[in-house]
Amino acid sequence: MMRPVEHLHLEHVLQTVGALEAVVLRSFGPHGGQVLFTRDTGQAMLSRSGTRILTALRLEHPLARMVVECVWRHNAKTGDGSKTFILLLASLLRMIHTAASKDPHVSLTHNSKEAAKAATARLLADKLLAFALDELDDLISVGVVPYGCVLSWKDFTAKTQSPVQKLLSSFFYTRLGQSNCDFISNLLCEMLTHWKFQHDPPSGSLQFINDNFPALHTPVLGFPISCSRLIEGQVIHRDFATPLTEPDGGSVKVVVFTGHLQPKLLNAGEVLELGCEALGEQENRGNGTSILHYSTFAEISLEYVFSNLQSLGVSVLLSAVKQSAAVLSLATQAEICVVECVSEDELSLFTHVMVKPCSLVICGSGEGQTEQYAAAFQEAIRMVLTTWEPLNTRPTTASKMVIHSHKSTSLHTGDTKPTYGFPCQNSVLEPGCVVPAGGTFEFLLNHALLQHISVCDNHESFPAASQLLANALLSVPRQIYSHSPRYFLQAQAMVLGSVQNHVHPFVMLDSGLESVSCKYHLVLAVLQCVTRLFQIDTMLHTHTRLNTQSRRLANISWEDTEDEAEN
Amino acid sequence: MALNGDDEDFEWEPPTEAEMKVIQARRERQDKISKLMGDYLLKGYKMLGDCCDTCGTILLQDRQQKNYCVSCQELDSDVDKDNPALNAQAALSQVRERQLASQSPASSQSAELNGGPSSSHIGVSVPQPRPEHCEGAAAGGRAPLPPPAVPSTSAPPPPTVLAPTQAEDAVLTKLRWATNQLQSSASLEASIQLCSLISSCANSLRSLKELSQ
Q: Which residues lie across from A256 on neighbouring strands?
A: A318
Any domain includes A247: no
Nearest-by-Cβ selection for B47 from A6, A59, A107: A59
Q: What is the residue range of A187's domain?
A: 176-235+355-387
How far is the C-alpha of A476 from the C-alpha of A444, rounded, in Å? 13
Task: Locate the chain B residue with the closest alpha carbon to A97.
Answer: B27
Q: Which of A130-134, B107-111, B115-119 has the lowest mean pLDDT?
A: B115-119
Any domain includes A169: no
The whole-number pLDDT of residue B10 equals 55
Cβ of residue A282 closer than 8 Å to a chain B Cβ? no
CATH number at residue A216: 3.30.260
Q: Which residues lie across from A37 on neighbouring strands?
A: A45
Nearest-by-Cβ selection for B1 from A11, A15, A464: A464
CB contact under 8 A, B33 and A15: yes
Q: A559 and A462: one domain?
A: yes
Question: Residue A17: helix, strand or coil by DSSP?
Answer: helix
Any domain includes A317: yes
CB contact under 8 A, B47 and A106: no
CB contact under 8 A, A15 and B37: yes
How far is the C-alpha of A50 from the C-alpha of A175, rounded, in Å? 9
Q: Which of A105-119, B51-65, B183-197 has the lowest mean pLDDT?
A: A105-119
CATH number at residue A303: 3.50.7.10
Are the C-beta atoms of residues B76 and B133 closer than 8 Å to each other?
Answer: yes
CB contact under 8 A, B58 and A35: no
Question: Residue B15: helix, strand or coil by DSSP?
Answer: coil
How far is the C-alpha of A493 from the C-alpha of A439, rounded, in Å? 12
Backbone φ/ψ region at B154: left (φ over 0), alpha (ψ -120 to 50), beta = alpha
Span between the terminal Cα atoms of chain B, in Å? 51
The whole-number pLDDT of residue A563 equals 37
Across chain A, which has 567 residues, the per-10-residue mean pLDDT values are: 63 92 89 84 85 92 93 92 94 90 62 79 90 90 87 65 82 85 90 79 85 93 92 91 80 88 74 64 52 82 91 91 90 91 92 87 89 92 89 46 38 34 49 88 93 68 78 92 88 88 64 89 95 83 64 42 35
CB contact under 8 A, A106 and B8: yes
Query: CB count, 10 Å around CB of A261?
Result: 22
Cβ of residue A25 closer than 8 Å to a chain B Cβ? yes
Contacts of A424 (CB under 8 A, 6+ apart): A430
- Strand order across the beta sheet in which A229-232 lies: A217-221, A358-364, A229-232
Which one has a higher pLDDT value, B129 or A465? A465
Torsion angle, alpha carbons of A422, A426, A431, A433, to 10: 20
Task: Locate the chain B residue with the closest alpha carbon to A9.
Answer: B56
Any domain includes A260: yes
Q: A91 and A62: one domain?
A: yes
Chain A residue numbers touching B9 (CB-CB < 8 A): 103
Q: Choose, out of B1, B3, B71, the residue to mutate when testing the contact with A (most A CBs < 10 Å).
A: B3
Task: Locate the chain B residue with the closest alpha carbon to A542.
Answer: B49
Q: A451 and A547: one domain?
A: yes
Q: A381 and A398: one domain?
A: no
The H or E element spanning position A218 is: strand A217-221
Are the C-beta atoms of residues B129 and B86 closer than 8 Å to each other?
Answer: no
Q: A290 and A402: one domain?
A: no
Q: A22 and A84: one domain?
A: yes
How far is the C-alpha of B10 from the C-alpha of A554, rounded, in Å? 54
Any domain includes A244: no
How far is the C-alpha of A128 from the C-alpha of A464, rounded, in Å? 9
**Would you tell me which residues 407-466 of chain A have a C-beta closer than 8 angstroms to some C-beta of chain B?**
464
How far is the C-alpha of A140 from the C-alpha of A427, rounded, in Å? 12
CB contact under 8 A, B51 and A106: no
Any domain includes A31: yes
CB contact under 8 A, A105 and B3: yes
Q: A22 and A144: one domain?
A: yes
How far is the C-alpha of A122 from the C-alpha of A530, rounded, in Å? 9
CATH number at residue A446: 1.10.560.10
The whole-number pLDDT of residue A149 equals 85
Q: A25 and A134: one domain?
A: yes
Q: How far, in Å, are A216, A254, A455, B158 from residue A310 at the CA level?
A: 30, 11, 79, 119
Q: Choose, out of A2, A40, A103, the residue to mutate when testing the contact with B (most B CBs < 10 Å).
A: A103
CB-defined contacts A:B, below 8 A? 90
Exposure string over A133-165, b if 16+ CB within 10 A, otherwise e: eebbbbbbbbbbbbbbbebebeebebeeebbbb
Task: Locate the chain A residue with the closest alpha carbon to B42.
Answer: A23
Cα Rg for chain B, rounded, in angstroms?
A: 21
A6 burial via Cβ count (<10 Å: 0-12, 13-18, 19+): middle
How far is the C-alpha of A559 from the C-alpha of B31, rounded, in Å? 27
A49 CB-side CA count, 13 A = 30
Concatenating the DSSP letter of every residue in A258-320 gives SS-SS--S--TT--PPP--SSS-HHHHSTT-S-HHHHHHHHHHHHHHHHHHHHHHTEEEEEES
Q: A401 and A542: one domain?
A: yes
The whole-number pLDDT of residue B115 equals 41
Any domain includes A536: yes
Nearest-by-Cβ selection for A22 from B3, B34, B44: B34
Chain B residue numbers touching A3 (CB-CB < 8 A): 50
Q: A220 and A265: one domain?
A: no
CB contact under 8 A, B38 and A25: yes
- Strand order across the beta sheet in which A253-257 lies: A253-257, A314-319, A337-339
Which one has a higher pLDDT value, A140 or B116? A140
> How many structural domains compose chain A?
3
Phi, psi at residue A539, to the nearest 5°? -110, 125
The whole-number pLDDT of residue A180 equals 86
Q: A181 and A147: one domain?
A: no
The whole-number pLDDT of residue B112 equals 43
Chain B residue numbers touching A48 (CB-CB < 8 A): none
Query: Could you report the per-residue pLDDT of B66-99, keeping only the tens digit for each?
Result: 999 988 888 765 555 566 665 566 667 777 778 7
Are the C-beta atoms of residues A316 and A331 closer than 8 Å to each other?
Answer: no
Phi, psi at residue A136, to the nearest 5°? -65, -40
CB contact under 8 A, B47 and A61: yes
| A405 min Cα distance to partner chain B (Å) | 26
| B176 min Cα distance to partner chain A (Å) | 37
| A62 min Cα distance to partner chain B (Å) | 7
**Best CA proximity match to A48, nearest among A37, A59, A64:** A37
Per DSSP bridges, beta strands A6-7 and A538-539 are antiparallel
Phi, psi at residue A359, to the nearest 5°? -135, 170
Q: A127 and A195: one domain?
A: no
Any domain includes A350: no
CB contact under 8 A, A16 and B56: no
Cβ of residue A18 closer than 8 Å to a chain B Cβ? yes
Cβ of residue A102 closer than 8 Å to a chain B Cβ? yes
